[in-house]
Homo-oligomer: A and B are copies of this chain.
Amino acid sequence: MTIRTKPAEILPLNTILAGDCVEMMNSLPEASIDLIFADPPYNLQLKGQLHRPDNSEVDAVDDHWDQFDSFAAYDQFTRDWLAAARRLLKPNGAIWVIGSYHNIFRVGATLQDAGFWILNDVVWRKSNPMPNFRGKRFTNAHETMIWASKSEGAKYTFNYEALKSLNEGIQMRSDWVLPICNGGERLKDAQGEKAHPTQKPEALLHRVLIGSTNPGDVVLDPFFGTGTTGAVAKMLGREFIGIEREAAYREVATARIAKVRKFDREALTVTASKRAEPRVPFGQLVERGMLRPGEMLVNQRGQAARVRADGTLATDGFNGSIHQVGAHIEGAPSCNGWTYWHFRKDGQTIPIDLLRQQIRSEMT
């Protein structure tokens, strides 16, 4: 069922190759791989140390493999491994690369320059990201994946219906909400420390492999780490090849994958999301023009508060959220601002919760 232009028997299926990813890729036969999933170093350029507000120290990614001297050096590294990767892909093969804003723009441009054809960029929205402790930027709550075919016009694999089923019958979007890898899935070393600083969640790979490979396909991961790609590939009945320089990671990955059972139906079942009602911040009503800064809200007794541009309310002598101002007026410990506050329209007095419901209905 697969087209073999080179002797496939020399493909080292379901093994982890030890060494530099470019050298190892160049040792494999060209046009032999169906899918490449790559999680290259992000080239984070961290300066000092970061502490949480409680003074505990953030365990940052400062590993030697993430150090590059310059953008130029990182670009050269990217060109090299992408060229080797592209040679390995079958004509209808595809690649996924994951990264953050530190590196993903350079990777994306290099992909395009190398002749890959971008099919989608997919955003992994983390449900539980690390906060921004200093309050100087937005919470870095997502990472970006680029999905590209080997070239324009290639007949890449896309299991549209399977993904639609995964998504409760609705077409899969380019933004995926998934938690980061922790809990029992997070691999630990003998000392109980995390075995790898950037282990990816299996759910991410599950979706990638279900969507863009078929059973029996060969999946290569040139930055194998602790082997999430291999573990999920094995579960899903795909063949994998991993490449990893660090012996410690290879050992962890080997033990991990040995424990994986193929076709474990229970493991494949996607837990139906306990979908709570999405949270809608009051500020969104202001941003979206449903309420205007300066407009007055009133409570049941006609007491008023003024809407401000940042989604807070102002009364004489007290500012705060819709809940805080309501509680303050009532002298109560808490208050549900959504039902407490009303706006006037056409002589009517309408609870602002109606506007929230409107937003929620648009979100489904």
Residues of A whose CB lies within 8 Å of any CB of B are 51, 55, 64, 67-68, 71, 100-102, 104-109, 111-113, 115, 118-123, 125, 127-129, 131-132, 135-142, 144, 146-147, 151-152, 158-163, 165-175, 177-179, 185, 201-203, 206-207, 210, 235-236, 263-264, 266-271, 273, 279, 281-284, 286-289, 292-295, 306-312, 314, 319, 321, 330, 332-335, 362-363
Contacts and interface: CB of A to CB of B under 8 A. Distances in A.
Across the A-B interface, give the 9 residue pairs with the lowest CB-CB distance, nearest first.
Answer: A105-B108, A166-B283, A267-B293, A267-B294, A168-B281, A141-B173, A101-B121, A162-B310, A203-B287
Contacts of A67: 152
Contacts of A136: 158, 160
B138 A174 contact: yes
Given A106-B109, A107-B105, A310 B120 contact: no
Contact of A127 (B168, B179, B362): B362
A55 B332 contact: yes
Contacts of A334: 51, 55
Contacts of A207: 287
B71 A210 contact: no
A336 to B, nearest CB: 9
Nearest to A283: B166
Contacts of A169: 321
B142 A312 contact: no
Contact of A174 (B140, B159, B311): B140
Contacts of A178: 284, 287-288
28 contacts: A55-B330, A105-B107, A105-B111, A106-B112, A108-B109, A119-B137, A136-B158, A137-B158, A138-B163, A138-B171, A139-B172, A139-B173, A139-B174, A166-B281, A166-B283, A168-B282, A169-B321, A177-B363, A179-B288, A201-B288, A202-B289, A263-B294, A264-B294, A266-B294, A267-B294, A267-B308, A268-B308, A271-B312
Given A166-B287, A321-B165, A309 B138 contact: no
A106 B142 CA distance: 20
B55 A333 contact: yes
A200 to B, nearest CB: 13
Contacts of A113: 68, 71
A307 B206 CA distance: 15
A310 B51 contact: no
Nearest to A360: B127
Contact of A138 (B141, B173, B362, B363): B173
B203 A289 contact: yes
B306 A266 contact: yes
A228 B167 CA distance: 34
A132 B113 CA distance: 26
Contacts of A100: 121
Contacts of A185: 289
B206 A286 contact: yes
A171 B286 CA distance: 17
B141 A175 contact: yes
A206 B147 CA distance: 31
